[in-house]
Structure 1
Amino acid sequence: MRDLRFDNRFVRELPGDPEDGRHVRQVHGACYSRVEPTPVRAPKLLAWSREVADLLGLDETDLRDRRFAEVFGGNALLPGMAPYAACYGGHQFGSWAGQLGDGRAITLGETINPQGQRWELQLKGAGPTPYSRRADGRAVLRSSIREFVCSEAMHHLGVPTTRALSLVATGEQVVRDMFYDGNARPEPGAIVCRVAPSFIRFGNFEIFASRGEEPLLQQLIDFTIDRDFPELVAAEPDPAQRRVKWFEEVCRRTAVLIAHWMRVGFVHGVMNTDNMSILGLTIDYGPYGWVDNFDPEWTPNTTDAGGRRYRFGHQARIAQWNLWQLANAIYPVIQQVEPLERALAAYAEVFEAEDRRMMQQKLGLETWRAGGEDEEGSDAALVAKLHTLMQAGEVDMTLFFRRLADLDPARPTISHFDAAFYDEARRRDVSSGFEAWLKDYAARIRQDGGPDPVRRERMNAVNPLYVPRNYLAQQAIDRAEQGDPTGVSELLEVLRKPYVEQGGREAYAARRPDWARHKAGCSMLSCSS
């Protein structure tokens, strides 16, 4: 395996924890603690992303090298690596949780690829750190497979995301209580190598604001802008104005991100501020879920089952709430209320515009009829009525929009969508309403004037046929836990082309089977991993 070139600006330019060791402690006045991964018994490479390997300048020869599993299983370091765990805090389920930090993630370093791009390499499940609290710093195979697969699937769907290079089995058992119900059991352990330009999150700034460490807060803000937002440095010479522009850009990127989540039916499940990327990337794939039957009230997280704070239809509001917390955190440096409030208001405007633009694409419309959801004849009203029918009829979101592209405007009928309904009784209940909606929609696309083949091609480019449904991931997990990891690679291969129909892979495009409706891992999940 070839060596990589490292330029570790985070640890080179920011202050670190003066105390050594993995023992749990409160870390003050520092952005990180130096800590190396804890070696594992028998690291074995189970799966990898060839696209991410290529980003880093690696090829299959490197991946097949025995040293690769040693490095990305946490047993060895490459020259130039400077491993650390980051210090941050966060609001969890709406309440300030204090210091959190990388409790089981260890960044190996920042590598510069042959094209001059910077990529952080981070091992999740690499052992205890000073931020592990009462945990062991490890991760189980099931959650590692889910993160590995979904990170790459989201990229191929066109959703901003962190990436995943590799999935390595540790050869060790990890004890977990999957649903926090007193039934802990040993499970196979694994480590994912996550890859992103930066893993800085909202919580990195919140921790210093909460402690009154304002000089360090300003240092981190300016470092983040300089390293991760170079276009702002070039465009704005005044540091004070540059910080404002930076927050505006964070708000904009976050709005675009959430609109993409809604477009493809993704539910993060645990949108705490420590799980929000400063770059507007999907980060920390924990108890996420994929909407099968359309339901704005659905959350995949068992911990969130009562309040449903992080439910599908609430994600845009939660993202803005999280941005408010970031605004509060950076205010001591910005020292102006008005520009922060303007940026937060702009978030809502950008999200609404992006959500509308993406829905227009999903419906195959060249134009958008203005008006609110209650205004007859507006496209917003058309969408609102559709969502109501889909929820009441228990309609599969992915299959419905994919089938909509093939609707014959001259003969719109609900039978065209039979494969998208989960319950025959509920289908009958909404049948007349759906027929009426389809006639309105057919009239709308005829009015829009675009030729059917062009409309179909445009819709199929934004409405995926293949998404990482929970039950598909669980099937791959079940096989891997029985010693056959090939299901992971097979699933990822399909998800590389989510918008292109792939012959012989119809099973990956089917609605959720009845057996998966309440099966653990296929519907509700916990934060336990």
Structure 2
Amino acid sequence: MKLKLNIADKFNKELPADPNERNTRRQVRNACFSYVTPRKPSDPSLVHVSPEMGETLGIMNSIESKDFLNVFSGAKVMKGTKPYAMCYGGHQFGNWAGQLGDGRAINLAEVENNGKTWALQLKGAGETPYSRTADGLAVLRSSIREYLCAEAMFYLGVPTTRSLSLVLSGDEVLRDVMYDGNPAYEKGAIVCRVAPSFIRFGNFEILAAQEDVKTLRELTDFTIKHYFSYLGKPSKDTYLAFFKEVAVKSLEMVMHWQRVGFVHGVMNTDNMSILGLTIDYGPYGWLEGYDHGWTPNTTDKAHKRYRYGTQPQVVLWNLLKLANALYPLIEEAEPLQAVLAEYQDELKVAYLNMMKSKLGLYKTVENDQDLVDKLEDVLQLSETDMTIFFRLLTGFKGDDSNDGLDLIKDAFYHPEEIKGEVSRQWKEWFLAYRVRLKLEEKNDVERVEGMNTVNPKYVLRNYMAQLAIDAADKGDYTILDELFNLLKKPYDEQPDSGKWFAKRPEWARNKVGCSMLSCSS
């Protein structure tokens, strides 16, 4: 059946466009986007589609059509649409990088279905005016990682962009995967990403940096009108309320990251969604050994700016940069500073409550922070798998009927180290945890049910994604499909999938793609 979408473009209809329509690298001013046409792939083929996203968009009956493949590979521009790349800047690794923009992302259109609007964006569909020295393309390896992770995060309950489709372009793309001077050709691929909007902190930053207050105001008013309309008509008070809403949503997002052990890897301000969505899945990873100092990004290896433990504080830093960008509209620093201070206060409470939920603790007890602090200490005495530990912990009872260390033994990467002082500290913590559980009003069954809704059994470990990539590179998509379906029910037991509830295998510890990844990933 022919692809039919209800086009409802707003961003490229209501905001100023770059008047230059030539696809050449350039600095863009007084504009929020540049028109650009996707590059036609030589021999596109469909690898995978998210049925749920297809249903959400109302196009599931057309996914096998030539029309679907043409549109979501970039081979055809839909009638009545005019694709574009967004203009934005950003702070990368703490430094202002100037104009960045959609270097390998092209927004096809915004569509409406069932009262909701969705922006459709192709990643890897060719160069744009913002590509700088790059080719605007993507490879199968990185595309599988993005396609799987966005959907996996959605089912984990983490605010995120979504995935619709994964397509092979039929072209070869040259990439230096570890930036070590050894480039190689890889299969080209294109992911269709979906979100209510792809507006980022950086969209505001570039306009403020250019001292283009007129366009900055237009963009802010547009964003409030379509995504924060409940805040009221534009005014200084509304702009401040808007900033506070972004802070609240960003805190909620990063608390979900900490809860499931997700590390973004490249939290530059141009990778921060104004809607509090996880966006741009590059060198991400899930904690395996519980380590607040771990980052998956090779570029961040030396300074570890974006390590797991600092993610909430990096969000705060990024919010400060957004506050600076919005200052020309508000013209008062104190109320913006108050929002940032409130974030810091709320962060402490949110983090404690998140950790308590993972432990099945619901009452307010004075010493809970100490219990959490000591747990985080013992978790790092020996390499301990975060996901497996918290899932196994649900089996611990408030009475004296089970031994905590024996219960969680499968979470230890080096069980031979759990002796002497390490063993003593673990037993001391379990004793304190047992005493604390006795203060709860919920019984063990209710507690376990609650813990199993926040502690996933299955997450997209890097080695799992790499297995799917290796097979897909040979034309075998069975692992890709298996993981896609597994991760739609991450909190369910799924007894037939027990092989994925396991520690990272030793062969994957230092393997490219399974431990550290580059921004090319």
Aligned equivalents of 2:345, 2:167: Cα separation in 1: 42
Aligned equivalents of 2:43, 2:417: Cα separation in 1: 51
1:227 Cα deviation after fit: 1.1
1:420 aligned residue (373, 392, 411): 411
Given that residues 286 and 527 in structure 1 are in contact (C-alpha distance below 8 angstroms), is that contact kept between their aligned partners in structure 2?
Answer: yes
Given that residues 99 and 206 in structure 2 are in contact (C-alpha distance below 8 angstroms), is that contact kept between their aligned partners in structure 1?
Answer: yes
- Specify the alignment match of 2:214 in structure 1: 215
3-state SS of 1:325 partner: helix
1:436 Cα deviation after fit: 1.3
- Specify the alignment match of 2:242 in structure 1: 246
Given that residues 47 and 166 in structure 2 are in contact (C-alpha distance below 8 angstroms), is that contact kept between their aligned partners in structure 1?
Answer: yes
- Specify the alignment match of 1:119 in structure 2: 118
Given that residues 394 and 426 in structure 1 are in contact (C-alpha distance below 8 angstroms), is that contact kept between their aligned partners in structure 2?
Answer: no
Aligned equivalents of 1:412, 1:80: Cα separation in 2: 65
1:417 Cα deviation after fit: 0.8
Task: List, as ranges, runs of 4+ consecutive aligned residues in structure 1 with deviation greater than 3 Å.
Answer: none
Aligned equivalents of 1:151, 1:6: Cα separation in 2: 24
1:241 Cα deviation after fit: 1.2
Does 1:305 find its partner at 2:294?
A: no
Does 1:27 find its partner at 2:18?
A: no
Aligned equivalents of 1:209, 1:78: Cα separation in 2: 34
Given that residues 3 and 68 in structure 2 are in contact (C-alpha distance below 8 angstroms), is that contact kept between their aligned partners in structure 1?
Answer: no
User: Which residue type is aligned with residue 390 of structure 2?
Assistant: F
Q: State the TM-score, normalizing by the size of structure 1.
A: 0.96
Matches within 5 A, 1:432-451: 432-451=424-443
Deviations 1:325-380 (A, max 9, x none): 0101110111111211111112223322222222111110121323xxxxxxx111
Given that residues 255 and 348 in structure 1 are in contact (C-alpha distance below 8 angstroms), is that contact kept between their aligned partners in structure 2?
Answer: no
1:489 aligned residue (468, 481, 492): 481
- Specify the alignment match of 1:373 in structure 2: none
Deviations 1:396-438 (A, max 9, x none): 0001010111113322330111110001343335212111111
1:238 Cα deviation after fit: 5.7
User: Which residue type is aligned with residue 158 of structure 1?
Assistant: G
Given that residues 221 and 234 in structure 2 are in contact (C-alpha distance below 8 angstroms), is that contact kept between their aligned partners in structure 1?
Answer: no
3-state SS of 2:438 partner: helix
3-state SS of 1:504 partner: helix
Does 1:392 find its partner at 2:384?
A: no
Does 1:458 find its partner at 2:457?
A: no
Q: Identity over aligned residues, as a percent?
A: 51
Aligned equivalents of 2:82, 2:261: Cα separation in 1: 38
Matches within 5 A, 1:54-133: 54-59=55-60, 61-113=61-113, 115-133=114-132
1:268 Cα deviation after fit: 0.3
Aligned equivalents of 1:169, 1:81: Cα separation in 2: 23
Does 1:522 find its partner at 2:509?
A: no
Matches within 5 A, 1:46-445: 46-59=47-60, 61-113=61-113, 115-233=114-232, 237=233, 239-370=235-366, 378-409=367-398, 410=400, 411-428=402-419, 430-445=422-437
Aligned equivalents of 1:350, 1:54: Cα separation in 2: 37
Aligned-residue CA RMSD in angstroms? 1.1
Given that residues 292 and 398 in structure 1 are in contact (C-alpha distance below 8 angstroms), is that contact kept between their aligned partners in structure 2?
Answer: yes
Aligned equivalents of 2:362, 2:431: Cα separation in 1: 18
3-state SS of 2:520 partner: coil
Aligned equivalents of 1:397, 1:307: Cα separation in 2: 23
Given that residues 9 and 110 in structure 2 are in contact (C-alpha distance below 8 angstroms), is that contact kept between their aligned partners in structure 1?
Answer: yes
3-state SS of 1:330 partner: helix
Aligned equivalents of 1:213, 1:427: Cα separation in 2: 60
3-state SS of 1:46 partner: strand
Given that residues 8 and 82 in structure 1 are in contact (C-alpha distance below 8 angstroms), is that contact kept between their aligned partners in structure 2?
Answer: no
User: Which residue type is aligned with residue 508 of structure 1?
Assistant: W
Deviations 1:454-494 (A, max 9, x none): 11111011100001111111100010011112221110100
- Specify the alignment match of 1:44 in structure 2: 45
3-state SS of 2:166 partner: strand
Given that residues 252 and 350 in structure 1 are in contact (C-alpha distance below 8 angstroms), is that contact kept between their aligned partners in structure 2?
Answer: no
Aligned equivalents of 1:239, 1:54: Cα separation in 2: 38
Deviations 1:291-342 (A, max 9, x none): 0110000000000000000000000111100000010111011111121111
Aligned equivalents of 1:289, 1:458: Cα separation in 2: 25
Aligned equivalents of 1:423, 1:507: Cα separation in 2: 19
Given that residues 295 and 312 in structure 1 are in contact (C-alpha distance below 8 angstroms), is that contact kept between their aligned partners in structure 2?
Answer: yes
Deviations 1:247-303 (A, max 9, x none): 000011001111110000000000000000000000000101110110000000000
Aligned equivalents of 2:221, 2:197: Cα separation in 1: 14
1:30 Cα deviation after fit: 0.7
Q: Residues 186 and 238 from structure 1, CA distance in 2 versus in 1: closer, same or farther, beyond 3 angstroms?
A: closer
Does 1:509 find its partner at 2:501?
A: yes
3-state SS of 1:448 partner: coil
Aligned equivalents of 1:412, 1:128: Cα separation in 2: 58
Aligned equivalents of 2:478, 2:436: Cα separation in 1: 46
Aligned equivalents of 2:410, 2:187: Cα separation in 1: 37
What is the aligned length?
A: 517
- For structure 2, the residue ranges without an aligned partner over 5 or more in a row are none
- Specify the alignment match of 1:467 in structure 2: 459
Aligned equivalents of 1:223, 1:450: Cα separation in 2: 47
- Specify the alignment match of 1:375 in structure 2: none
3-state SS of 1:355 partner: helix
3-state SS of 2:68 partner: helix
Given that residues 102 and 131 in structure 1 are in contact (C-alpha distance below 8 angstroms), is that contact kept between their aligned partners in structure 2?
Answer: yes
Aligned equivalents of 1:62, 1:340: Cα separation in 2: 48
1:177 Cα deviation after fit: 0.4
User: Which residue type is aligned with residue 411 of structure 2?
Assistant: A
Given that residues 266 and 289 in structure 1 are in contact (C-alpha distance below 8 angstroms), is that contact kept between their aligned partners in structure 2?
Answer: yes
Q: State the TM-score, normalizing by the size of structure 2.
A: 0.98
- For structure 1, the residue ranges without an aligned partner over 5 or more in a row are 371-377
Aligned equivalents of 1:121, 1:82: Cα separation in 2: 12
